[in-house]
Amino acid sequence: MPITNTLDLETLVSRMNEWANEPDTKRGRMVRVFRSPKTNRIDLQAARLALLIEEAEAAA
């Protein structure tokens, strides 16, 4: 399922899985917070997802 012209859902999930294991990076922390069950504010989650998509596109 394409998210953007250059990024599909499988690629995003794959990159997020890799980034979640990076202990000292901003994107690693962002993935872990995004996946945290304590985070239930939809506006913050949408902003985090947008940043993660942007980061994933830049890595492409």
For residue 16, how many other CB atoms are within 10 A of its CB?
A: 21
pLDDT digits (tens, 9 = 90+) for 1-16: 566 777 888 889 999 9
pTM equals 0.79
Tokens of 37: 């069950």
Q: Tell me the residue type at 22.
A: E
pLDDT digits (tens, 9 = 90+) for 6-51: 788 888 999 999 999 999 999 999 999 999 888 778 998 899 999 9
The pLDDT score that the predictor gives to residue 22 is 93
Tokens of 14: 């794959």
The pLDDT score that the predictor gives to residue 24 is 92
What are the helix (H) ranges across 1-60? 9-20, 26-35, 42-59
